Amino acid sequence: MRRISGTVRAFMAIFAVIIVLSVAIAATTGNRTNLTLPEKLIRGIFSPVGHFFWNIGREVSDFFGGLFHLSSIVEENRGLKEEVEALRSDVARLSGLESENRRLSDLLALKKSFKGRTLAANVVYRDSGNWLGTVVIDRGTEDGVKPGMAVINSLGIVGRIVTTTGSTASVLLANDPRNAMGAVTVRSRDFAIVEGVGDGTGVLRLKPLGADPDIVPGDLVVTSGLGGIYPADHIIGEVVDVDEGAYGMAKVAYVRSSVDFSRIEEVLVLLDGQRGAAK
Amino acid sequence: MKPQDGSSLKVGPGATSAVGMVLGLVAQAAFFPGLLPGFPSLDVIGAFTVALAILGHRRHALFLALFGGLTLDALTGQFIGLTALCYFIAVLIVISIQKNLVKEALTTPAVVMIAAFMLKELIYLFVLVSSGLVFMPARVMSQLAVSSILNACLGTGVYWALHMKMGLQVHVDREF
């Protein structure tokens, strides 16, 4: 008897946990702009720690990237091997600094090309799953960041702000399936909607709005500025494939984004929204 | 950690779940994405959770599944509870079969790890698709296979380290 009641209790507890989690998921599925206090606390505690370990990961990655690049030179210059060995660690460190310097210079040039106010930010950590695309940056409401602001880098559109705390903000990346933006092809001026496909790569789905769109692989796609979030004429990417669909009625194209979403490190937040369009 | 025969350290399930939680948060959300950009997500908390479940530490496995999953979700503020739900269901299934598993070789834990991680990803994907998100089928299949195999390798390594090197024992529940 006691054994049965224990089993029933266990099943009831399992059922209750599943119900509570399901309710929490349902309540946080849509567009959230405000985080709860526990979420803000967890993020506030974790952000500096996450930023620290993110940087360590990057440094290690840059270091081994530098070593990998040097290995071909070592092969060609066996006579200089000893000298190369001595310099290897310095070069690996400098190659990381050089790439960071290049990224920051690009970002500065981009910042100068805007009419509106912009804010530079660093990625501190990212979504730990395989299916969604979200990164957290080290700027929040204290710096003027609000949900709905566009986020870009020197390569193109990165995404938009969805939630904020005082010192951090979540960026929904353009390749997340929840993201959609107005777009136009540069060659044929066909208006379309570009949305994420959530596969973790830089491929985006382009759905033309017109009846008989003229879209071919190689077409450059830029933002149309019609959605109210992203400024016009920012590069989204290049068409890599066109699916004509049944009877040519449901043409869909796939766009390779100019941004490498897995390597986003520094970004610009457009504080003035549409006014942040390029000069 | 408790000393074993004065020569080596023996870890307990409490310390394992605490280490798994801290290590998992730091590694999954920050270190690995910085180190291996573009690489499928390595699920450290999942690895510790399933390893604890295979060894019969039910309470610790469920605790880590729920709190680890909820904390991971809270970090990004979206679909709160989804990771916890996936871990929870996967762990429940592993717990329900763990008494029948051979624990002194790595083959069975490795197979259970693959199945558990695949189940976790499928539940995650099911909820996302149910909420209206669309994914490309070919990419889903490859992502499922690659991430399940990678995480099963990680999980088997964690199991080997915890059980075979650090002395985390199988928990036998006589009332179960």
Please give the residue of chain A at the shortest CA–CA distance from B38.
A262
Question: What's the pLDDT at A4?
Answer: 67
Q: Tell me the C-alpha distance between B164 and B160, whole Å.
A: 5
CB A233 within 8 A of CB A276: no
Question: Which uninterrupted H or E stretch holds B10?
Answer: strand B8-10
Please give the residue of chain A at the shortest CA–CA distance from B133.
A177
Highest mean pLDDT among A184-193, B7-16, B167-176: A184-193
Inter-chain touch A126–B127, beta carbons under 8 Å: no
Q: Is residue B174 part of a domain?
A: no
Smallest CA-to-CA distance from A200 within B148, B34, B135, B118 is with B135
Q: Which residue has better confidence, B31 or B4?
A: B31
Inter-chain touch B78–A126, beta carbons under 8 Å: no
Range of the structural domain that residue B99 is part of: 2-165
Residue with tokens 């490859």: B142
Residue A196 pairs in a beta bridge with: A204
Question: What's the pLDDT at A99?
Answer: 67
CB A251 within 8 A of CB A244: yes
Binning pLDDT at 50, 70 and 90, where does residue B87 land? Answer: very high
Around B172, how many Cα atoms within 13 Å sit in the side-chain half-sphere?
2
Q: Which residue has better confidence, B141 or A83?
A: B141
What residue type is B127 in one-letter code? V
What residue type is B131 in one-letter code? S
Inter-chain touch A42–B74, beta carbons under 8 Å: yes
Interface-testing mutation among A15, A21, A33, A36, with chain B (most B C-beta atoms within 10 A): A21
* Span(s) in chain A for CATH 2.40.10.350: 180-258
Name the residue among A136, A170, A199 with its Cβ closest to that of B136: A199
Answer whether 0.90 is exceeded by the pTM.
no
Q: Is residue B133 part of a domain?
A: yes
Question: What's the pLDDT at A28?
Answer: 87
Q: Is residue B23 part of a domain?
A: yes
Q: Tell me the C-alpha distance between A46 and B17, whole Å.
A: 18
Question: Which uninterrupted H or E stretch holds B176?
Answer: none
Arithmetic mean of pLDDT, B15-37: 89
Question: What's the pLDDT at A278?
Answer: 45
The third-level CATH classification (topology) of the domain covering A37-173 is: Thrombin, subunit H (2.40.10)
Diameter of chain B measured on Cα atoms: 57
Q: Tell me the C-alpha distance between A150 and A270, whole Å.
A: 6
- Residue B104: give its domain's CATH number: 1.10.1760.20
Inter-chain touch A38–B75, beta carbons under 8 Å: no
Q: Is residue B175 part of a domain?
A: no
CB B44 within 8 A of CB B31: no
Of the ranges A19-23, B3-7, B168-172, which one carries the lowest mean pLDDT score? B3-7
Please give the residue of chain A at the shortest CA–CA distance from B141.
A199
CA B175 to the chain's CA centroid: 26
* Span(s) in chain A for CATH 2.40.10.340: 37-173
CB A170 within 8 A of CB A133: no
Q: What percent of chain B has pLDDT over 70?
A: 93
Return the HEC string of chain A: CHHHHHHHHHHHHHHHHHHHHHHHHHHCCCCCCCCCHHHHHHHHHHHHHHHHHHHHHHHHHHHHHHHHHHHHHHHHCHHHHHHHHHHHHHHHHHHHHHHHHHHHHHHHHHHHCECCCEEEEEEEEECCCCCCCEEEECCCHHHCCCCCCEEEECCEEEEEEEEECCCCEEEEECCCCCCEEEEEECCCCCEEEEEECCCCCCEEEEEECCCCCCCCCCCEEEECCCCCCCCCCCEEEEEEEEECCHHHCCCEEEEEECCCHHHCCEEEEECCHHHHCEC
Residue A19 in contact with partner chain B when CB distance is under 8 A: no
Please give the residue of chain B at the shortest CA–CA distance from A58.
B34
Mean pLDDT of chain B: 87
Question: What's the pLDDT at B160?
Answer: 93
* Tally of domains in chain B: 1
How high is the ipTM of this complex?
Answer: 0.86
Q: Is residue B171 part of a domain?
A: no
Assign domain A180-258 to a CATH class.
Answer: mainly beta
- Tell whether the model's pLDDT for residue B19 goes beyond 50: yes
Phi and psi torsions of A237, nearest 5°: 165, -160
Residue A5 in contact with partner chain B when CB distance is under 8 A: no
- The residue length of chain B stands at 176
Q: Tell me the C-alpha distance between B87 and B71, whole Å.
A: 12
Q: Is residue B173 part of a domain?
A: no
Inter-chain touch A61–B36, beta carbons under 8 Å: yes
Q: Which two tokens stand for residue B84?
A: 């916890």
pLDDT values of chain A reduced to their tens digit, one per residue, 279 residues: 555 677 888 889 999 999 999 999 998 887 777 888 888 899 889 989 988 998 898 888 877 776 666 665 556 666 665 665 555 556 555 666 676 777 777 767 666 666 678 899 999 988 877 788 889 999 999 999 999 999 988 888 999 999 999 899 999 999 888 888 999 998 888 899 999 887 667 789 999 888 788 888 999 998 888 877 888 888 899 999 888 776 666 688 999 988 888 888 889 898 886 554 444
Question: Which uninterrupted H or E stretch holds B8?
Answer: strand B8-10
Question: What's the pLDDT at B9?
Answer: 63
Report CA-CA distances (Å) from B140 to A156, A212, B146. 26, 31, 10
